[in-house]
Structure formats: structure tokens, C-alpha cells
A and B are shown apart, each in its own frame.
Chain A
Amino acid sequence: MKLIKSSQAGSLESNDVLVLVKPENDNTGIKLEIDSIVINQFGDRIKEIVEQKLAAMKIENAYIKIKDKGALDCTIEARIEAAIKRAQ
């Protein structure tokens, strides 16, 4: 899947997550920046979800910034999907 523009989805409300996507078309892979209020408890899990979702949507090169306010797994997945779709 080709990403053609920057996008974002979600919000900074409690229990939500803001996902920012920037296309990187130089084959440098995924650059991931995660900022979360529950980074100590769910940091690894968030990283896992992002990586899994990007792989499932066949995104190989992108800059993804996550600003998480305690979103559940399904919310994170949903916001990533929405942001990626908006970037296409």
C-alpha cells in the first residue's frame, strides 16, 4: 500500500490515541515514536499492535507518531487503520 500524504486520526481525549502518519518513500522501513501515559505498563503492547497492524495493511515505509492517552488495544488498532486509510 502506498502512502501519499500525511494524515492523522483519533484525539488526545482520555482513553483515545492520536495517530500521526507521514509517508517515507525512501525504503527506510517503519520509524515509530510512541508517547503514552501508560508507557510503563503497555508500551511494549502498543508497539506490538502498531507493528502488527502496519504489516497487515502492508505498509513498509512510514513515520508513525503515537500519542496515547490510555486507549484500549482495539481503539489503537482502529485509529491506526483510520490514519493509514486517510494517508492513501
Chain B
Amino acid sequence: MKVINTLEEVIKKSGLKDGMTISFHHHLRNGDFVLNSVLNKVAEMGIKDLTIAPSSVFPVHIDIIDHIKNGVVKKIECNYMSGKVGEVISEGIMDQPVVFRSHGGRARAIASGELKIDVAFLAAPAADSEGNINGINGKAACGSLGYAFSDARYADKVIAITDNIEEYPLTPVSIDQTYVDYVLEVEEIGDPEGIVSGTTQITQDPVGLKIAEYTAEVIEESGLLKDGLNFQTGAGGTSLAVADKLKDKMIEKNITGNFAMGGITSYLVNMMEEGLFKSILDVQCFDLDAVRSIRENIEHQEISSSWYANTESKSCAVDMLDVVILGATEIDTDFNVNVLTNSNGVIMGGSGGHNDTAAGANLTIVVAPLFRTRLPIVVDKVLAKTTPGEHIDVLVTERGIAVNPANQELYKKLKKTNLPITTIEKLKEEAEKVAGKPQKVEFSDNIIALVEARDGEIIDKVRQPLLK
């Protein structure tokens, strides 16, 4: 009998003890109730010194802070961390640094045993009594459960936590019963408003729109804008504006793309439903329309993080990408990108799929304004290296476009156009000319985070910022 009545009971049954590793997926995003409930219960039960491995941490997970302070949480391994948790950890409250991996890197580490999960707590918008689960039914529907597959496959004990038990057998099934040990039914696994936004929005900021305009032209001039295009873009306002402008060009030139991938938003769904892409590969849904589409459209497929980006799987999807659009909080003159910390060195993000897609895509474009309220995006050296410069082909800002010198072919193509092609050094100079040269933030010796490359090598050690 897999269905267990209370959280306490299921934790006992799982055999969770001090010092073990527990994991969560982040598909309920900022509407998640599961991680906090589990930690609070675990604390109540007197269990401590745990390593937690949520695929991402959101502002809603603020309870983690107390559990760090009271010894329940000793170590964190994740792909992305936003909100107060990141801020407080950047003040040095943890003894062990947070390990940051990419989505593909986490899947690799779990499969290889480097990240050994004792108990996986998987929020399930729909489940049946035998533990079959999906993410598309139920009031807390989140769409794709891409990041949960590795946990389900490799964790010693897997607990599905649902607020929606359906009749056996659940239809359709994402993660099947052969991986699930127990099923716990609760009142609510999350707040739908925090799980997916109503719709994601294109930026209205003229600077963002200018960047998007240049980017669409870069894609066109690169020669990759043709039938069969495989494309990925982020969910931020500027990234979506790029998708919008790309759409106009595809319609104008009668181009049919092959697949769109990501982080899926209504924009990409629209493009597919209008025939501009043949299919979608979905590792995470960002809005209600994406959830609807994955439920209704057979060409909109759920993929696991391993399928998405695990370098040690037999092959992965990011290697099939033609073009990816990415953001950056900082980029240095070697094109290394920081998406982990802000300009003060405070943790507020993480690679997510950034270095996975950058490594896999034929053309990797970073879009960013030249400054964000006086802070230049282009710096001498990034405060945290999340994606190595060798994977970045071009930086597009509203004041100029810099091509990585390693990509001479692209540089030659773009230099022939009317686009404002310049060098990354000149962009840095211009930023400093307009905004002034920023003083460098000081750091202590205390290491607050380790950044792993896709293959598990440590590519950066992030120190604690000493802020005014």
C-alpha cells in the first residue's frame, strides 16, 4: 500500500536519518509548498545535518534560512537560487559552500552517483494510488516535470506528494509507478498563482526592444534563419521580444522551423500553433498557455533534464540547437558570463540551462543592456564564472554588438551589415565612459558557492562579498 496518510509517517517510512540527502524538483516555482513543509516537518522530527538538493530555490523557500541556522540543513546543491535565501547565504551563514550545477550537470551528477539522493520528495500535480504521476492535471498543474526524472530514477526512496489523487491508472503518465515508493496526499502542494504566471510578457522598454531588433538581424545575417531552425530563448522580457521579432522574419520569409526548446512560454506555443515550428521540447513550463499546450498538443513533448542536457547520456537535445538566446548579469572581456550573482556578488540566480545551451548551440547569443541602472554589464572579470567564454558567440547590447574573436566567420558576416559591430573592449570602455568606472566590490576568503561545469569540474569558487 503506497498511499501514506501523513508527512511524518512517510518520512519515517523512507528511513530518513541525520546526514542524508533529500531532493526536490522546482516545477512549482515560487508557488511551491512542498519543500518548506518537508523541511519544517523534518526539523520537528529532530532530523538534522541534511544535504538538500532542490533543482532550484525560489523566494518562497525562505524557510530554508531558519533550517540552516538551526542545523537541519548543512549543505545545499542546486541549479539556481533566487530571493532572500541567496542573499542571506551570501552573508556567509553556511559552513559549506552551495554547489551550483547546470540542469544537465545535475542530471549527470545524479546518474553518476556523485549526487546521491536518499529520499526524493516529488511534488505531483496528479498522481494515482500506485505512484504514477504527471504535471498536467490538477489545480496545481505545472506542465513538464523535466527536472524530476533523474530524482525519480536514482533516489533510494521516492515519495510523490500530491493534492490530486486520480483513479488508477493515471492518464497520461510522466513518471511511472515503478520508480515511486510512497504517495502522500495533502491539501495543497502549491499556490497556482506562484506556479505559473498568467502570461509571460514581451518587454515594452525601448532599450530591450532595440536589443531584440538587433538580435533578430544577427540571427538572419548568420545564415541560420532557414527552414529547419532549432531555437531556444529565455523567458525574460527581452528574450521574448527576440522571439517576437524572429517570428515576424520567419513569416516574412516563409520559414518553418523544426523545434523550439526551453523553458516554454506562450510565445513559443503560439509560434508552434501557427506552424512556425513543427514541435516543442519542454523541460519546464513558464505559463498557463504552455501547460495547456503540453496537455493538448502531441507535438509539444515533455523532456527530462537528462534528455535536455546531460553530457554523459548517450546524446542530449542541446547539441541539436541552432540558436539560443541567453541573458547575463555580467560578461567579461573574455566573454565569460555570470548569471549566478548580481554586481554586488550576492547570489541571485544560477546557470539553470545557461551553460548547457551555450555549449550545445551552434550560435549562442547573449542579450543584455549595456548597463543596468549605472552598473556596466561588461566588466574586466566576472564575479562568478557560470558559462565559459568559449561557448559565447556574440553579445548584443543596445549600444553595440561584440562578436567573440574566436568566431571569425560570424564576425565577417556581421561586419558587412549595417549593424553596430564593435569589440567587447570598446563596449566596456563606452559603458565606463557613460557611467563612470565602478569600484570593485571586496571579498573575504570565505567561499560561499562552488560552480561546477557540465562535466563536474569546479570552474569557479565564489567568495563572500563584503558590502557597505
Contacts and interface: CB of A to CB of B under 8 A. Distances in A.
Contacts of B441: 40-41
Contact of B373 (A38, A39, A73): A38
B438 A41 contact: yes
Interface string B338-373: 000001100000000000000000000000000001
A39 B438 CA distance: 10
Interface in B126-178: none
Nearest to A39: B468
Contacts of B344: 40
A43 B441 CA distance: 11
B316 interface: no
A37 interface: yes
Interface in A36-56: 37-45
A37 B434 contact: no
Nearest to B344: A40
Given A39-B468, A72-B434, A44 B439 contact: yes
A42 B431 CA distance: 14
A70 B376 CA distance: 11
Contacts of B374: 15, 38, 41-42, 70-72
A69 B438 CA distance: 15
A49 to B, nearest CB: 10
Q: Which of B344, B373, B441 has the most CB of A within 10 A?
A: B373
Contacts of B373: 14-15, 37-38, 69-70
B434 A42 contact: no
Contacts of A43: 439, 468
B401 to A, nearest CB: 23
Task: Give the size range of A's interface with the partner.
Answer: 10 to 19
A45 B436 contact: yes
A71 B375 CA distance: 10
A35 B186 CA distance: 46
A38 B438 contact: yes
B435 interface: yes
Contacts of A15: 373-374
Given A15-B374, A37-B373, A72 B468 contact: no
A14 B371 CA distance: 12
A41 B434 contact: no
Interface in B421-444: 434-436, 438-439, 441
B1 interface: no
Contacts of B439: 40-45
Nearest to B440: A41
A73 to B, nearest CB: 6
B467 interface: yes
B468 A38 contact: no
B468 A70 contact: no
A32 B441 CA distance: 22
Contacts of A37: 373
A70 B436 CA distance: 11
Q: Which one of A38, A39, A44, A72 has the greatest number of beta carbons of chain B within 10 Å?
A: A38
A80 B434 CA distance: 19
Contacts of B438: 38, 41-42
A25 to B, nearest CB: 31
Interface in B252-303: none
B200 to A, nearest CB: 22
Q: Which of B438, B465, B467 has the most CB of A within 10 A?
A: B438
Interface string B69-93: 0000000000000000000000000
B345 to A, nearest CB: 9
Contacts of A41: 343, 374-375, 438-439, 441
In this complex, the member of B374, B435, B439, B468 whose beta carbon has the largest number of chain A beta carbons within 10 angstroms is B374
A4 to B, nearest CB: 33
Contacts of A45: 436, 439
B203 to A, nearest CB: 14
Contacts of B465: 40
Contacts of A39: 468
A14 B369 CA distance: 15
A45 B182 CA distance: 60
Given A44-B439, A70-B373, 19 more contacts: A15-B374, A38-B343, A38-B373, A38-B374, A38-B375, A38-B438, A40-B439, A40-B441, A41-B439, A42-B374, A42-B438, A42-B439, A43-B468, A70-B374, A70-B375, A71-B374, A72-B374, A72-B435, A73-B436
6 contacts: A15-B373, A15-B374, A40-B439, A40-B467, A42-B439, A70-B375
